Copies of this chain bind each other. A is one copy, B any other.
Amino acid sequence: MATIKDVAREAQVGVGTVSRVINHSNAVHPDTRKKVLQAIEDLHYSPNLTARRLSLGKTWQIAVILPYLTMPSYVERLRGVQQAIGETEYYPILYSVGNPDQRDEYLDILSDQTQVDGLLVMSMPLSTAQTKKILHNQVPTVLIDASNPELDHIIIDDIAGGQLAAQHLIDLGHRRIAFLSDNLDTPFQESGRDRYLGYRRALKEAGLPFRSRRVREGDKGRQAACRMALDLLSQPEPPTAVVATCDTKAIGVLDAARQLNLRVPEDLSVIGYDNIRDSEYVSLTTISQPLLESGIRGTRLLLDLIDKKRDVPPRSYQLPIELVTRGSTAPAPNQDQEGTK
């Protein structure tokens, strides 16, 4: 592999000159430039990025830490990152996390090695220790889909989202509204918790009682959701509507309804969250969040942070959610009076 030295010798100039040509520095004579360019061509030379990085103290690489790409929403956010980063000279390195230990390991490594120019953390809250380390080592960092008082972040108002979902059902006259999520207390994103809070807030503001028997949390995925829904729907005084914390789960609820011969939306209303592609197909009412946008915005924030070496208070952006009404929700079948008793 030819080096800058080889090129210099071939073109009969100093390495400094070659470097200037490569880096489009204008202070080089046209004739000299031509000679150098010729030598580069002859030798099939191309600069060694690692050496340049060492010399410049910059990697042009951004670490993206995100949960294993099991959920469409992660993929969509990642696409946003790629879209934004694609317009720059940076490249993303993917650290796909399968479990909390791995997450901590990556975070630990990345927050002190001079390995990347910045960190993009997706859908995982940081511990105070982790935050402190990042701050101490001055690693430019942005969180997407997680909140943090000391670091820049992009969030989506999940409380409002959960509330919006429940409110939609309340507006349709439902009184017995169930809530179905995966484990509310996971090491990863806290969005489930927030949506739950939103759900409760909506009930409260509408003066409806909260019933813990109408809440189910468990494994993620469609089938687990289906099982939980079967359980939920087979109790006495079953709910007439279900808020699911993601569309996949909502589809699981649809499965359950079918098994129980419940018509949707006549007998049961179901609302999901995320507006993934599948949702349109099954005509699921859902809460849509700007997933792609969150990736884009987060990346831009990070690039800005890297460039400007800002040292100002952390910025927090909250992206809007939206109700997408489709065929899985309808007015409540029969009004019971629980809410007013």
- Which residues of chain B are within 8 angstroms of A94 by Cβ–Cβ distance? 82, 91-94
Instruction: For the complex formed, measure the closest distance between the CB of A312 and the CB atoms of chain B, giving whole angstroms.
Output: 22
Task: For the complex, give the distance between the alpha carbons of A59 and B92 in Å.
Answer: 15
Asked if B48 and A113 make an inter-chain contact with CB atoms under 8 angstroms apart, the answer reads: yes
Which residues of A from 88 to 126 have beta carbons under 8 Å from B?
Answer: 91-96, 98, 112-115
A251 touches B (CB below 8 Å): yes
- Which residues of chain B are within 8 angstroms of A251 by Cβ–Cβ distance? 281
B-binding segment of A10-18, A49-57, A197-205, A328-336:
A49-57
A300 touches B (CB below 8 Å): no
A69 touches B (CB below 8 Å): yes
Task: For the complex, give the distance between the alpha carbons of A44 and B54 in Å.
Answer: 20
Asked if B86 and A79 make an inter-chain contact with CB atoms under 8 angstroms apart, the answer reads: no
Task: Given A53-B50, A68-B79, A69-B79, decide whether A44 and B93 contact each other with a Cβ distance below 8 A.
Answer: no
Task: For the complex, give the distance between the alpha carbons of A50 and B114 in Å.
Answer: 8
Task: For the complex, give the distance between the alpha carbons of A54 and B54 in Å.
Answer: 8
Asked if A54 and B61 make an inter-chain contact with CB atoms under 8 angstroms apart, the answer reads: no
Task: Given A75-B69, A82-B94, A93-B61, decide whether A115 and B278 contact each other with a Cβ distance below 8 A.
Answer: no
- Give the copy number: 2
A47 touches B (CB below 8 Å): yes
- Which residues of chain B are within 8 angstroms of A281 by Cβ–Cβ distance? 222, 251, 278, 281-282
Task: For the complex, give the distance between the alpha carbons of A282 and B47 in Å.
Answer: 52
A318 touches B (CB below 8 Å): no
Asked if B96 and A82 make an inter-chain contact with CB atoms under 8 angstroms apart, the answer reads: yes
- Which residues of chain B are within 8 angstroms of A129 by Cβ–Cβ distance? none
A183 touches B (CB below 8 Å): no
A78 touches B (CB below 8 Å): yes
- Which residues of chain B are within 8 angstroms of A49 by Cβ–Cβ distance? 113-115
A186 touches B (CB below 8 Å): no
Identity of the chain B residue whose Cβ is nearest the Cβ of A46 in the assembled complex? B112
Instruction: For the complex formed, measure the closest distance between the CB of A247 and the CB atoms of chain B, giving whole angstroms.
Output: 11
As a 0/1 sequence over residues 56 to 86 of chain A, the CB contacts with chain B under 8 angstroms (1 = contact) are 0001010000001100000100110010001
Asked if A78 and B69 make an inter-chain contact with CB atoms under 8 angstroms apart, the answer reads: yes
A1 touches B (CB below 8 Å): yes
Task: For the complex, give the distance between the alpha carbons of A47 and B136 in Å.
Answer: 17
Identity of the chain B residue whose Cβ is nearest the Cβ of A252 in the assembled complex? B281
Task: For the complex, give the distance between the alpha carbons of A115 and B54 in Å.
Answer: 13
Which residues of A from 7 to 59 have beta carbons under 8 Å from B?
Answer: 44, 46-51, 53-54, 59
Asked if A93 and B91 make an inter-chain contact with CB atoms under 8 angstroms apart, the answer reads: yes
- Which residues of chain B are within 8 angstroms of A277 by Cβ–Cβ distance? 278
Identity of the chain B residue whose Cβ is nearest the Cβ of A112 in the assembled complex? B46
Q: List 19 A-B contacts (CB under 8 A).
A: A1-B114, A1-B137, A44-B112, A44-B137, A46-B112, A46-B114, A48-B114, A49-B115, A50-B50, A69-B78, A69-B82, A82-B96, A86-B96, A93-B94, A94-B94, A251-B281, A278-B281, A281-B281, A281-B282
Partner-B contacts on A (CB < 8 A): 1, 44, 46-51, 53-54, 59, 61, 68-69, 75, 78-79, 82, 86, 91-96, 98, 112-115, 136-137, 222, 251, 277-278, 281-282
Question: Which 3 residue pairs across A and B have the least CB separation, nearest first?
Answer: A50-B53, A49-B115, A46-B112
